[in-house]
Structure 1
Amino acid sequence: MSMVQPQITPLRETWRQLMTSARSRAPRLRACLIGLAVAAAAQGLALACLMPLFRALIPAPRWPAALPWLVVMTVLMLASILLRWWAQGFDYRGDMVQNTHELRTALGRQLRRIPLEQLQDKRAGEVNATLLGSVDENLSYLLTVANMMAHALITPVVVALAALWFDWRMGVLLLLVFPLLIPLYRWRRPAYGRGMRMLADAQERTSADILEYTQGLPVLRSACCTGEKAQQLQAGFLHLQAIQTIGQKKGTKPNLVLATVMELAILLVVLLGALFVIQGTLDVALLAALLVIAVRFSEPLATFVLYAKIIDLIEAALGKISALLAIAPLPMQALVPVPQRFDIRFEGVTFHYASAANPALRELNASLPARSLTALVGTSGSGKTTITRLLMRHADPQAGRITIGGVDIRAIAPETLNALISTVFQDVYLFDDTILANIRMARPDATDEEVQTAARAAHCHEFVTRLPEAYLTRVGDIGGRLSGGERQRISIARAMLKNAPIVILDEPTAALDTESEVAVQAAIDALVRERTVIVIAHRLSTIAAADQILVIEDGHVAEQGRHAALLARAGRYSAMWQAQQRAKNWHVGR
């Protein structure tokens, strides 16, 4: 199985990304990391005090000479502990929690700015993994790992520099051993980096698979595709297992080599020190002090590169966060006042999805008069939904322009444009909240009375009052506790409360039974009065009274006119109409 090898981010770039993600807490985080470095240096000086202290105690104790060094070592150790305690306060004093909150808030703002065309290409579970997992991985381990690495790098180097003062040979040997970590780390870092990125990608994919599996469980059960038969989910689990297994197998031998090299290097320093003592050129007290120091550093040095793996985990998380934040919003033209009329024009609009081979729209021209009902009909994939998405500015066309009241929608602030358009989709999405809250989303400042007035107009007040808690009844995940017709009427009530001058209807009655369709159609009739309405229609009988019908074919307007005129033309629309009329007479037989 071939995989694209991800690029390893330079440490300088990782530092920049880290400070950027720390946002308002960046100065505090920088100070804490510097504090950990100073604490590690203070500990190194404290350990270096063992060399003069042992000289004062071996072979015969000389307490007047030993006491000052004991006091200095104690003060330095206390200073190191206090500094480390203060620096790691970034975690337990609330800075880290505040930072992750700010970062998630920034990512939330970015989600509102991202072109929806690009967001629709991402699976919900992948976005969820970035917002939750990557943000937590960004800082949760940072101070702990930084503390370990500082004590594995800075503390030994400070001790080695101090050893130069007492015996230059031992100081040089220590300075040769301790910096050996750097080339060893650089040797293993690319492999660790690739492994962590592959693992992060696999976990993100698995998170998306689990979310998709959970949401689609009713369909999977009906298709007998649960458990081991859920092939996509099982494939994701196997992929994650393979990545973890590869990481364990490939990392075992190099990790043992690294640990062994560092242990042997420290042992070599001790053996050479013993040789110098035998030769009479090294004080035995100094060797004893170095033995204590070597024991103190052997484990941190041997496991340093393993600690550094977490840096690559943080780096992978930073990369995903940076990639999401780097998506540019749609460009804005110079803003103009809110349009005062609501006719819509598509002028030479050409649009090509990034992942598609052919354009979805080709030089489309259309004029939708204000306070009229325009129906879009055509085969699946002809471009009907793309027209409405471009009007709502989920993306911008590569050529041409779209205007409302003569104003290019690229010159209308996104919040203003959203306020001008209400949408009723075929597949209604309700949030797991109360009915009152789901309707009020359209206008958060609306009173309870205004919400109920919209509900009555949408013909849903009667069924809502029959529920156990009426308007305070929770609708369940995606509105699962309500029927399709009930969900649809709540979405229409939401649109009526919004009271936007432009309404988009995406075949809202297509999946309903006859009784629900009658109620929903009555609600729609109330919604569309005195508004500019666009209807995506599949059942042509529902739009026979439209002011104009646009037949969309291969991304352009193939036919245009009223129902009777299009039938008389005997073209594409007439053929579609005849086909649906024949389908009405079809029945199941034996």
Structure 2
Amino acid sequence: MTQTASPNSQALPPIAAESLPPTTEGTMVGNGLALILRLARRRWVALAAAASFAVLAVIFELVPYLAVYRIAAEVFSAAPEPEAIVRFALLALGAVVLQFVCIGISNTVAHAAAFRLLREVRTELTEKMARLPLGFFDRHDSGELKKALVEDVGSLEGVLAHNIPDVASGILVPLAAGIALFWVDWRMALASLALLPVGIAAQMWAFRGMDGQYRLWHRTEAQANAGVLEYLRGIAVLKAFNRTASSLERVRSAIYGVRDVATAMTRRSMYSYSLFFIALSTNLLVVLPVGIALHLHGGLGLPQLCLFLVLGVGLTAPLTKLMFVFGSTSRTILGAGRIQGILDAPPLPQTPGPVQPTDFGVRFEDVHFSYDGNKSALREISFIAAAGQVTALVGPSGAGKSTVAKLIARFWDVDKGRIEVGGVDVRAFGLEELMGHIGFVFQEVFLFHDSVRENIRLGRGGASDAEVEAAAEAANAHTFIQALPDGYDTMLGDRGARLSGGEKQRLAIARAILKNAPILLLDEATAFADPENELAIQQALADLTRGKTVIVIAHRLASIADADHIVVLNSGTVEDQGPHGALLARCATYRKLWATQQQAAGWTLTTATGEDAHAG
């Protein structure tokens, strides 16, 4: 292995932080508003059109009231004209039809724009998450991220699609109607607005301190999501020990937490909301007596009185829409702030490629790494996994074996030192380029809720059905796949629930075979296999590893005794390295692991009578 780095590795990008920067309430609100405005600018033509049709709908909404006023004027005139009454009635009917047409167009255009924006935001989030280091996901649980990706993004639809027409009607209807009523009679117009200050004061009372309540609501919702996901993932364990969801403390506390927050918010705001609705919907209590008094004293005609009883009574009712708009927008802004926080999270830095490694050997040079920035997970790790050879990583649990393997693939970046592939620092590769050089077969196999064929095709997108089946045959998986109900088209169920551990491993090997990467990382691929499956997996691995740089995490030392090179890790550092025989002779940790496993291989289960229970 050459030690000379390529020119690409001379100026490496700085190591990115792996978590969101600290955010204050003001930062989150500012980020949320900025995201909503940015999204609105993307589809400003469609949203402006939706707003325009909403304004037209408001205008048409006022026409029937004015038509009723003119009809009343005709009815109470000395010589009513039937033709005029019919004309105004038809005008009112036509306005109602046009109002609903405009509302339909406004809603259709606004929703189409909103759903396109939601798709774009979710796509941006998923693409961004794919570029984030795994440390980000260690610091943000799945419930929090699921809430941002599904619920917080979904809430944007209300702001973008509903709030535009609601704000238009909520502001323009009272404004236009108020101008018309002041033109008819300023005294009755003031009577129609008499309770508005009470409603405004009640709304200010309702929203006082609600930002903190909304933050608490979002936090408890995220905790509830995480608790429910944990319950669903662990349901088999709960059943095995005859436990229910209520016995899982995180689920119970999260569900009760949502209930308690919702109850507290309702109790806190019920009086102010009630006063708000009463003030904006009962101005008849003022309009009717004032109108009657003015009419009896000759200061208001019957047509004008009818107009105010029809239009003035409902003058402030549309303002209730604004209350819902402000309430939903406040919640949505906080959710949008979390979305923007994820979009702003620093990804793993990348240097534009491509680069040319001399070979596909892997070199660790004085590597230090910590998950949390405090406690070291790896210290002074240095070793070489030569190209085309098998290098095994062994050591007690927690020694850092899996961390070493994942650092090669840049699931995280090192804090100090270098990891090279063919003389090139892994940080100098483009991430897609680096991933193209590395295949994985991990102990924990994740299978998607999809067909067997598509789960294997994950190894190389665009592979033909024939190539998929050839990879399955090479992985000794073809026979059991054909025995499934629909063969390669069998849906596996959530996380591959239909398959045994050994069958899942063979599908993972088939993926790696299909990818055919020159570097292969193996994490005890036979750990969950029964003897029959283990033999099939070992045969598949023999074909898969031929000619590749293989780094295998070994828990059973007998399986790697013939490895070209063995690295013994202990407490996050390299204790020793070399071939099996040399390590047995000089490395105390390796010798202890070997002796312990030899002793465990002869273990038998003792019966109640004290006899060994040997099978067969």
TM range (shorter): 0.7 to 0.9
- In 1, distance between residues paired with 2:30 and 2:526? 57
Do residues 454 (structure 1) and 481 (structure 2) align? no
Higher relative contact order (CA 8 A, sep 6+): 2
Do residues 214 (structure 1) and 232 (structure 2) align? yes
- In 1, distance between residues paired with 2:27 and 2:385? 51
Partner of 2:109: 90
Partner of 1:106: 124
Give the one of 261, 270, 275 matched to 1:257.
Answer: 275
Do residues 232 (structure 1) and 250 (structure 2) align? yes
Do residues 163 (structure 1) and 181 (structure 2) align? yes
Please, what TM-score do these two structures have when normalized by structure 1? Answer: 0.86
1:555–1:26 CA distance, 2 compared to 1 (3 A): farther
- In 1, distance between residues paired with 2:28 and 2:206? 14
1:72–1:467 CA distance, 2 compared to 1 (3 A): closer
1:26–1:407 CA distance, 2 compared to 1 (3 A): farther
The aligned runs of 1:485-500 (5 Å cut-off) are 485-500=502-517
**Contact 1:160 1:172 survives alignment (8 Å):** no
1:165–1:140 CA distance, 2 compared to 1 (3 A): closer
**Contact 1:260 1:302 survives alignment (8 Å):** no
Percent identical across equivalent pairs?
Answer: 32
- In 2, distance between residues paired with 1:452 and 1:147? 54
Partner of 1:511: 528
Measured after TM superposition, the shift of residue 55 of structure 1 is 5.0
Partner of 2:61: 43
1:417–1:49 CA distance, 2 compared to 1 (3 A): same
Partner of 1:135: 153
Partner of 2:407: 390
Task: Give the secondary-structure state (helix, strand or coil) at the position aligned to 1:402.
Answer: strand
**Contact 1:104 1:135 survives alignment (8 Å):** yes
The aligned runs of 1:474-553 (5 Å cut-off) are 474-553=491-570
Partner of 2:19: none
Name the aligned partner's letter for residue 583 of structure 2.
L
Do residues 441 (structure 1) and 458 (structure 2) align? yes
Do residues 115 (structure 1) and 133 (structure 2) align? yes
Name the aligned partner's letter for residue 433 of structure 2.
T
Structure 1 portions without partners, runs of 5+: none
- In 2, distance between residues paired with 1:256 and 1:185? 10
- In 2, distance between residues paired with 1:361 and 1:104? 36
Measured after TM superposition, the shift of residue 175 of structure 1 is 6.2
Name the aligned partner's letter for residue 462 of structure 2.
D
- In 2, distance between residues paired with 1:73 and 1:180? 33
Give the one of 413, 416, 421 matched to 2:438.
Answer: 421
Count of residues paired in the alignment: 584
Q: Deviations over 1:190-212 (max 9, x none)?
A: 55554444444434433333333
Partner of 1:244: 262
Partner of 2:15: none
- In 2, distance between residues paired with 1:49 and 1:164? 17
The aligned runs of 1:153-192 (5 Å cut-off) are 153-171=171-189, 178=196, 184-192=202-210
- In 1, distance between residues paired with 2:431 and 2:365? 20
Measured after TM superposition, the shift of residue 565 of structure 1 is 1.8
Measured after TM superposition, the shift of residue 332 of structure 1 is 1.4
- In 1, distance between residues paired with 2:589 and 2:384? 20
Name the aligned partner's letter for residue 107 of structure 1.
L
- In 2, distance between residues paired with 1:179 and 1:17? 33
Give the one of 563, 566, 577 matched to 2:583.
Answer: 566
Task: Give the secondary-structure state (helix, strand or coil) at the position aligned to 2:363.
Answer: strand
Measured after TM superposition, the shift of residue 180 of structure 1 is 6.6
- In 2, distance between residues paired with 1:579 and 1:259? 75
Please, what TM-score do these two structures have when normalized by structure 2? Answer: 0.83
Measured after TM superposition, the shift of residue 28 of structure 1 is 0.8
Structure 2 portions without partners, runs of 5+: 1-22, 611-616
Measured after TM superposition, the shift of residue 484 of structure 1 is 1.4
Task: Give the secondary-structure state (helix, strand or coil) at the position aligned to 1:360.
Answer: strand
1:33–1:517 CA distance, 2 compared to 1 (3 A): same
**Contact 1:192 1:309 survives alignment (8 Å):** no
The root-mean-square deviation of aligned C-alpha atoms, in Å, is 3.5
**Contact 2:203 2:273 survives alignment (8 Å):** no
Measured after TM superposition, the shift of residue 290 of structure 1 is 1.6
Name the aligned partner's letter for residue 484 of structure 1.
G
**Contact 1:375 1:537 survives alignment (8 Å):** yes
Give the one of 345, 351, 359 matched to 1:333.
Answer: 351
Deviates more, 1:401-410 or 1:187-196: 187-196
Task: Give the secondary-structure state (helix, strand or coil) at the position aligned to 1:474.
Answer: coil
- In 2, distance between residues paired with 1:212 and 1:376? 31
**Contact 2:287 2:313 survives alignment (8 Å):** no
- In 2, distance between residues paired with 1:76 and 1:473? 57
1:473–1:77 CA distance, 2 compared to 1 (3 A): closer
